[in-house]
Amino acid sequence: MKTILWVEDEASFRYIVSRRLEDEGYDVVESVGSMEALKIIESDRKIDLILLDIRMPQGQPHGIATGLMARRKRPNVPILFLTAYSDLAGIQPPIGEVIEKSSELAGLVSTIAKMLGSPDPIAA
């Protein structure tokens, strides 16, 4: 079973995405912000993909900065950034991919499957 570290401060969205990913067979480790996520990343916990919201609560590193810090500790773990801001969805950070948050989770699930080299559960 692949493990996804899901970093999102908005509780309701974090819950919806977590349940969907668990329904697809992923083990989801939830984090409410960058600081908690970095502690998990620094641990020996298995992580196959890091899913990061770009915007974090004030006082915490934003998602791209968190991703860069994660890359130093876990250089081979793919990173997928999410944003609610359509103008940010087109940016290409130095690491990972960026997609726009939406109420349609099929695209997110398909992107994660591709990044993990898994069969696309949506296409099946």
Domain residues of the chain, as ranges? 3-115
pLDDT class for 124, splitting at 50, 70, 90? very low
- Please list the alpha-helical segments (H only) found in 1-105: 11-23, 34-42, 63-73, 86-89
The model's pTM = 0.87
Closest CA to 45 of 56, 58, 57, 30: 30
> For the chain, what is the radius of gyration of the CA atoms?
13
CATH for 3-115 is 3.40.50.2300
For residue range 43-99, what is the model confidence (pLDDT) as tens digits? 999 999 999 998 887 788 788 889 999 999 999 999 999 887 655 545 565 677 777
